Structure 1
């Protein structure tokens, strides 16, 4: 069986490529694409939102395939579809072509980003996949750090069309071979007769209680993704609203990325031995605490806000993969993960627009919306813990 370290490196590098060439692409190329095809940058972002909605629909199907056949063929196919979508985008001549290309990208995003990688790790390593999931996010946490400068350099030196073609080529010469090195489903770890009944292999909740917990988790993930996407789109503008200059606001916003990586390192080291429900609850409170800093101290609290938001967001990215593993076990993990993330992908598609409206009308008071969502997510996780204690789970649940 392939070691967890090897799986982590293979999936981590492949995920860095996948995120850099999809999720982080419009921020650099939207203006140039829109100018060439006769559309606004917001129209290009609209096409990206369509890709997110399609990825939400594809996720459960891809997860079910991973459960049945393993992640290797699904992830390899996603590299081919990524390449096809990027190549199609490079040839776009009108807005309709941009929407069509991003629709293809949506297929690959639904089958080739975190949810698929997490499901692959669980298919290979079962309950031991928690550290692998954390390691994958540590690698991919640098997707924007690598992707944005590389995309900007390619666009300035060759043009946006050529930049898309380079990313397409990287999927075929780097991403595809990396995913091909994963074990096939026949060599993946399977529960033995001796371990099939152990916690983590089977669900720790009775079937009649799983639905309610799944609904709570889906809400938590949707709230987290709304906050994360809204801040990614509007953080510099938000910080300017408390009296910070644009240059300073951009500098402070740039700290979110390193803070996310720091949060994942904290999860990988100090929090790896605690129940993920505890680390997730702490993480959901990080953004509201940061918002409170701005509310109390104004511009002086901006740095604390950015760092706290990044720390919490980094840990929650891991919780998306580890909480379903601990609560529902390994059986059917991929498909369940896909369904749990459907609401998150939907709200992610609308978050920049909706929070932008709130910011335009309320100013920095819009942080009340994201802050209340964070607190609500924490309360939902408290409800999950209470439900598990009432169930009499065999796994110790933190208070």
Structure 2
């Protein structure tokens, strides 16, 4: 028999595959069909995703507070329900305003149903022991595009893009929503009391460690969203044609999953700040490779591995450093600038490419990628110092 922990993580893993696949990765397949069918400009169609990410970012703090008080069960279930409602609305949309409203619903659902909310729910359930569950969940989520892109492509060819939206909505109502409802505890565990003798917690925005994590995540989110949307022209600046750029882009997913497997094999024997340090180093090396002429395949694998490890570090580092007591609220606070940056990234990238050219933008991305590394090194030194002077469990 599977343990309760394994059942919970596995159920949430299935949820993550289909929530990511039917929201964040949806337009990668169906956007051209929406434009052809409706006559809407491609920029408007993809702009719906930007609007959804903005809604997600603006709701993140409230979502974290709700998980803190009520646990993950009602919040993640509500998030899946909102994604289903957004998909139904999108499938029925015949006017741009309805389409964009669908993405607002989707964005709220993404904020309450994707990684940040799921990490907060696991932290609320397992406390300081949630790191392994967070790592395992990212491994499940890494297969979202692998599973859902073929499903979306088949659905578009078989029943059209509207039918694909309706099908995903039905899947959420019949599978992922019940999984959230039955896999997560009805009553969340009691919050951990403060450690005896622990100093009073500083307000989050006055803690340099919070700022270090936020700056790292915000820049990495913006860079990753620029890269995701503009990979073809950016690689074109290095002499790669469309087919080569697409082939190189397919290396990112396997690199992300492979890095998470290696992290899981470590069984949490190292502090997650080391995971973050390796993540930002690989991330920077990826763009350094593109700038200085290293084989693009090697550079992109480094980038993908770094990005994959960051998905773990963004949840595990705040838990290890600040503890589980206010973890959902802190995750909501940290998610806000990251999601807003991810929403702005494609537009910022397009503007920079238009004004400066793709080659110059690659140089800028390389410099931007160095900042998370520069911020993480002092954070690593601070955490190691705190570990030496503080009793166990009070870092």
Q: Shorter chain as normaliser: what TM range?
A: over 0.9
- What TM-score results when the alignment is normalised by the length of structure 2? 0.92
Query: Could you say which residue in structure 2 is the equivalent of 1:339?
Result: 333
Equivalences for residues 120-269 of structure 1 within 5 A: 120-186=121-187, 188-190=188-190, 197=195, 206-207=201-202, 211-269=207-265
Query: Could you say which residue in structure 1 is the equivalent of 2:300?
Result: 306
Equivalences for residues 268-347 of structure 1 within 5 A: 268-270=264-266, 272-297=268-293, 301-347=295-341
- What TM-score results when the alignment is normalised by the length of structure 1? 0.91
1:22 CA drift (Å): 0.4
1:363 CA drift (Å): 2.3
1:89 CA drift (Å): 0.3
Separation in structure 2 between the aligned mates of residue 172 and residue 367 of structure 1, nearest angstrom: 42
1:95 CA drift (Å): 1.1
1:203 CA drift (Å): 8.0
1:146 CA drift (Å): 1.2
1:271 CA drift (Å): 7.1
**Stretches of 4+ moved more than 6 A in 1?**
202-205
Structure 2: tracts of 5 or more residues without a match:
none
Equivalences for residues 76-155 of structure 1 within 5 A: 76-155=77-156
Query: Could you say which residue in structure 2 is the equivalent of 1:357?
Result: 351
Separation in structure 2 between the aligned mates of residue 126 and residue 9 of structure 1, nearest angstrom: 18
Separation in structure 1 between the aligned mates of residue 185 and residue 268 of structure 2, nearest angstrom: 28
1:382 CA drift (Å): 2.0
The verdict on how the C-alpha distance between 1:272 and 1:316 changes in structure 2, with shifts beyond 3 A counting, is same
The yes-or-no answer on 1:384 pairing with 2:365 is no
Equivalences for residues 49-60 of structure 1 within 5 A: 49-60=50-61
The verdict on how the C-alpha distance between 1:204 and 1:154 changes in structure 2, with shifts beyond 3 A counting, is farther
Listed one character per residue, the Cα deviations across residues 202-232 of structure 1 (whole Å, up to 9, x for unaligned) are 9888526853221221111111111221111
Separation in structure 1 between the aligned mates of residue 390 and residue 217 of structure 2, nearest angstrom: 23
Listed one character per residue, the Cα deviations across residues 148-204 of structure 1 (whole Å, up to 9, x for unaligned) are 111111011111001000000000111011111224352x444677xx528xxx988
1:127 CA drift (Å): 0.7
8 Å CA contact 1:38–1:95 kept in 2: the answer is no
Listed one character per residue, the Cα deviations across residues 97-149 of structure 1 (whole Å, up to 9, x for unaligned) are 11111111111111111111001111111111101001111001011111111
The yes-or-no answer on 1:375 pairing with 2:376 is no
**Structure 2 counterpart SS, 1:364:** helix
1:36 CA drift (Å): 2.9
8 Å CA contact 1:50–1:102 kept in 2: the answer is yes
8 Å CA contact 1:284–1:377 kept in 2: the answer is yes
Which deviates more, 277-286 or 313-322? 277-286
The verdict on how the C-alpha distance between 1:162 and 1:63 changes in structure 2, with shifts beyond 3 A counting, is same
Separation in structure 2 between the aligned mates of residue 294 and residue 183 of structure 1, nearest angstrom: 43
Query: Could you say which residue in structure 1 is the equivalent of 2:69?
Result: 68
Separation in structure 2 between the aligned mates of residue 129 and residue 135 of structure 1, nearest angstrom: 10
Separation in structure 2 between the aligned mates of residue 221 and residue 393 of structure 1, nearest angstrom: 27
Separation in structure 2 between the aligned mates of residue 369 and residue 394 of structure 1, nearest angstrom: 43
Separation in structure 1 between the aligned mates of residue 64 and residue 34 of structure 2, nearest angstrom: 32
- Over the aligned positions, Cα root-mean-square deviation in angstroms equals 2.4
1:390 CA drift (Å): 5.7
1:85 CA drift (Å): 0.8
8 Å CA contact 1:36–1:93 kept in 2: the answer is no
Separation in structure 2 between the aligned mates of residue 151 and residue 223 of structure 1, nearest angstrom: 30
